[in-house]
Amino acid sequence: MGRGATGVDRLSFARLANLPVTSSNLDIVAIGDAIVDVIATTDDAFVDERGLPRGGMQLLTASQADELYAAMGPAREISGGSAANSMAGAAALGLEVAFVGQVADDQLGDIFAHDMVSLGVRFETPPLPAPPPTGRCLILVTPDAQRTMNTCPGASHELTPAALDAELIRSASVTFLEGYLWGPECPRAAMLEAARIARSAGRTVAFTLSESLCIGDRRDGVRGMVEAGTVDILFGNEDEVRHLTGCGDLADCIAQLSQHVATLVITRGASGAVAFENGERVDIAAPRVERIVDTTGAGDLFAAGFLAGRCRGRPLKSCLETGALAAAEIISHFGARPETDLKELAGL
Amino acid sequence: MGRGATGVDRLSFARLANLPVTSSNLDIVAIGDAIVDVIATTDDAFVDERGLPRGGMQLLTASQADELYAAMGPAREISGGSAANSMAGAAALGLEVAFVGQVADDQLGDIFAHDMVSLGVRFETPPLPAPPPTGRCLILVTPDAQRTMNTCPGASHELTPAALDAELIRSASVTFLEGYLWGPECPRAAMLEAARIARSAGRTVAFTLSESLCIGDRRDGVRGMVEAGTVDILFGNEDEVRHLTGCGDLADCIAQLSQHVATLVITRGASGAVAFENGERVDIAAPRVERIVDTTGAGDLFAAGFLAGRCRGRPLKSCLETGALAAAEIISHFGARPETDLKELAGL
């Protein structure tokens, strides 16, 4: 897991010199849920009758997940997890990336690890002995291409700060943190520790909101972190930023959040996206998608594209456009992992 | 697993009366590999450099499979297995079907069982404790949509005659046997025993050839079974029937095989299909497919459609057309399990 003598020496020297470390080996390191998606199509009645959170996410216990799985139709399994999808996308866009997340030592854990590593994502978090097993997300896709996610987090929520490799975090330009993992105590502590390490090394911290932050008092912790200036780049959709700020109007959300984050990126589904940075607001339209099949991963791939543009020095508008392009690819097929050559698509 | 007192009584009476049993609860019971497909797209060089059997199938040991898996790209997992695909298709076409195949008590085994049962396929073969784990097939799809299959059969080849439920077999109009499972001794014994039970109950025995019959001396066993009149319906593609008969010309293959099987069905890829029955030869063209994505499962779904037509009393030509329709659906997307409403598509 170490970065080797050369990396350590260089970083030690930088610390001794009391200078921010400016060189980096990695573009992004992400911390998030390590999850395999179990994707089935279904009709509206199935979602409605069971009171599933249409278009949203709910957490399930193991027995609830077994019950729902038994009731749902035949499925395909594709590695998932929000920040993990973003890293799969970023790697496909040609970035050097790493992922930190917890799987169990089981078949789904092997699948998750394979899919990361085979994309060139560094993934070195050692698996834990099961139980709990590797997390899975039962995703029901309705005829409107909307996904309803039912997550059984399993090993994913067993991530602790001990799983962090401080050298890895220091070596990455961006540390990217996932809102879905904010709820459980140990992973939250791991993310806060990662943010601390990244900031002390002069790196950028990015955070992506998620609807799971609407549960209980999780919002306050994220607000506190944002207001403390820990987050440099904040990603969210309209609902998420409204919930976080308590503001109904998008302009008010932007006004409030941009006091605390250098770069605010808000996705707006079919209405495109908006970013606010250095007092400048940039809006883009969504690219046309011939046939939307499954919206799973749209936000994750948007973040991947945006960060890829940023890491390659593209201007703000181009970062948004790269994000929108990656999101458009992902919603044109089932699953939240890219199926076409994103690098070529984005001209990166 | 029992069929209940009524079923047993009726069957006993039929046997006593020395009459063929004509009533049946099930349309088809199939015996085959219980396998999860691991599907990745790749370029031609990957297949060529590794000497993989382009368009065909090879068996791998666990360590060979691990090595290939490590080298291949990110994948999606979809339940597979040749005869299992056929039963998934037959269930989607509205038939009452059952499947007998061996999985291990692990996550891939759970996935396989879920996908069968959720389609309405009766699947009651108890899982074995791992190791060996549930079988998987590493499928590499090249840009020409051709699939190259690398099978690590695992638990699948641990099937024994003890796993058979004689009442289940007697209750099905058709017993459908898979050529891929002919190689290993125990599953072969199970299939021969199933054929014996089916025939003694006056049922139809169908057998689907596979390229794995080209390995070693497996061909002679299948020829012996065919020549003994055990098989009523024989499915194969052109290569397979040529290999089985040793005839280069398709007409010679038909002449030879139709001496022994009542119904001979030969698929010819883009050239359509041909059947020979009661001295009558029927040819059909292949339906136009807008975009062929992955040819995995084409033969399996052809058999499903043909048998669905047969079980519903359609004439021979219509059976071929139903087979071709089901095959056309399966090659329009990744994976060998149907994704659209086949029943509606086929007007069944």
Amino acid type, A249: D
Calculate how close chain B gets to A121, using CA atoms only, in Å: 11
CA–CA separation, B115 and B88 (whole Å) = 8
**Cβ(B36)–Cβ(B134) below 8 Å:** yes
Q: What is the dihedral of CA B220, B224, B230, B235, to 10 degrees?
A: 30
The pLDDT > 70 percentage for chain A reads 92
More confident residue, B270 or A276: A276
Give the residues across from A277 on adjacent strands. A263, A280
In sign, the C-alpha dihedral spanning B346, B338, B309, B148 is: positive
Give the pLDDT confidence of A175-207 residue by residue, as tens digits: 999 999 998 999 999 999 999 999 999 999 999
Which range (A90-99, A195-204, A313-322, B241-250) has the least confidence?
Answer: B241-250
Within a domain: A13: no
**Cβ(A137)–Cβ(A151) below 8 Å:** yes
Phi and psi at residue A236, to the nearest 5°: -170, 165
H helix runs in B103-202, sequence order: 107-117, 166-170, 185-200
Within a domain: A11: no
Closest partner residue to B77 among A77, A133, A337, by Cβ? A77
Amino acid type, B322: T
Q: Is residue B2 very low, low, confident or very high in pLDDT (cuts 50, 70, 90)? A: very low
What pTM value is reported for the model?
A: 0.88
Phi and psi at residue B100, to the nearest 5°: -120, 120
Task: Tell me the chain A residues in contact with residue B117 when contact means C-beta distances shorter than 8 Å.
Answer: 70
Q: What is the dihedral of CA A100, A106, A112, A116, to 10 degrees?
A: 60
More confident residue, A261 or B6: A261
Task: Tell me the chain A residues in contact with residue B75 when contact means C-beta distances shorter than 8 Å.
Answer: 111, 114-115, 118
Q: Is residue B21 very low, low, confident or very high in pLDDT (cuts 50, 70, 90)? A: very low
Residue A283: is its pLDDT beyond 50? yes
Give the pLDDT confidence of B33-56 residue by residue, as tens digits: 999 999 999 999 999 999 999 988
Q: Do B108 and A107 touch (CB under 8 A)?
A: yes
**Cβ(A311)–Cβ(A295) below 8 Å:** no
CA–CA separation, A303 and A208 (whole Å) = 8
Within a domain: B189: yes
Within a domain: A293: yes
Q: Do B106 and A108 touch (CB under 8 A)?
A: no
In sign, the C-alpha dihedral spanning A52, A58, A62, A65 is: positive
Domain at B330, CATH number: 3.40.1190.20
Task: Tell me the chain B residues in contact with residue A73 when contact means C-beta distances shorter than 8 Å.
Answer: 118-119
Give the pLDDT confidence of A4-21 residue by residue, as tens digits: 333 333 333 333 333 344
CA–CA separation, A206 and B268 (whole Å) = 55
Range of the domain at B162: 22-32+82-125+156-346
User: What are B33's two structure tokens?
Assistant: 């590999």
| Eight-state DSSP code of residue A128 | B
The number of domains in chain A is 1
CA–CA separation, B155 and B90 (whole Å) = 24
Closest chain B residue by Cα to residue A88: B74
- Comparing CA positions, the residue from B218, B217, B197, B85 lying closest to residue B139 is B85
Closest chain B residue by Cα to residue A135: B107
Q: What is the dihedral of CA B232, B238, B244, B250, to 10 degrees?
A: 90
Q: Do A76 and B73 touch (CB under 8 A)?
A: no
Calculate how close chain A gets to B70, using CA atoms only, in Å: 7
Q: Is residue A215 very low, low, confident or very high in pLDDT (cuts 50, 70, 90)? A: low
Chain A residues interacting with chain B (CB cutoff of 8 angstroms): 38, 41, 69-70, 72-79, 88, 106-108, 111, 114-115, 117-119, 133-134, 335, 337, 339
- Comparing CA positions, the residue from B124, B192, B180, B135 lying closest to residue B158 is B135
Calculate how close chain A gets to B133, using CA atoms only, in Å: 9
Q: CA angle at residue B85 from B316 to B254, to 5 degrees? A: 40
The DSSP line for A207-235 is EE--GGGGSTTHHHHHHHHHHTT--SEEE
Count CB atoms within 10 A of the CB of residue B166.
16
Q: Report ipTM (2 d.p.).
A: 0.84
The DSSP line for A73-123 is ---EEEEE-HHHHHHHHHHHTT--EEEE---BSSHHHHHHHHHHHHTT-EE
pLDDT at res. A47: 95
Give the pLDDT confidence of B124-157 residue by residue, as tens digits: 999 999 899 999 999 999 998 888 999 999 999 9
Q: Is residue B257 very low, low, confident or very high in pLDDT (cuts 50, 70, 90)? A: very high
Measuring CA to CA, how many Å separate A240 from each of A44, A51, A161, A213, A275? 24, 21, 26, 8, 15
CA–CA separation, B93 and B81 (whole Å) = 18
Within a domain: B149: no
Closest partner residue to B77 among A41, A76, A119, by Cβ? A76
Give the pLDDT confidence of B163-210 residue by residue, as tens digits: 999 999 999 999 999 999 998 999 999 999 999 999 999 999 999 998
**Cβ(A210)–Cβ(A57) below 8 Å:** yes
In sign, the C-alpha dihedral spanning B64, A74, A332, A237 is: negative
Give the residues across from B234 on adjacent strands. B207, B264
Task: Tell me the chain A residues in contact with residue B77 when contact means C-beta distances shorter than 8 Å.
Answer: 76-78, 111
Within a domain: A202: yes
pLDDT at res. A212: 67
Name, in order, each residue with C-beta under 8 angstroms of A220's C-beta and a sequence gap of 6 or more.
Answer: none
The DSSP line for B309-335 is HHHTT--HHHHHHHHHHHHHHHTTSSS
- Comparing CA positions, the residue from B137, B178, B132 lying closest to residue B155 is B132
- Comparing CA positions, the residue from A171, A198, A193 lying closest to residue A8 is A171
> Cis (ω within 30 of 0) for the bond into A187?
no
Closest partner residue to B335 among A76, A108, A119, by Cβ? A76
Task: Tell me the chain A residues in contact with residue B70 when contact means C-beta distances shorter than 8 Å.
Answer: 114, 117-118
Count CB atoms within 10 A of the CB of residue A229.
13
Calculate how close chain B gets to A69, using CA atoms only, in Å: 8
Residue A273: is its pLDDT beyond 90? yes
Q: Do B74 and A74 touch (CB under 8 A)?
A: no
CA–CA separation, B335 and B76 (whole Å) = 9
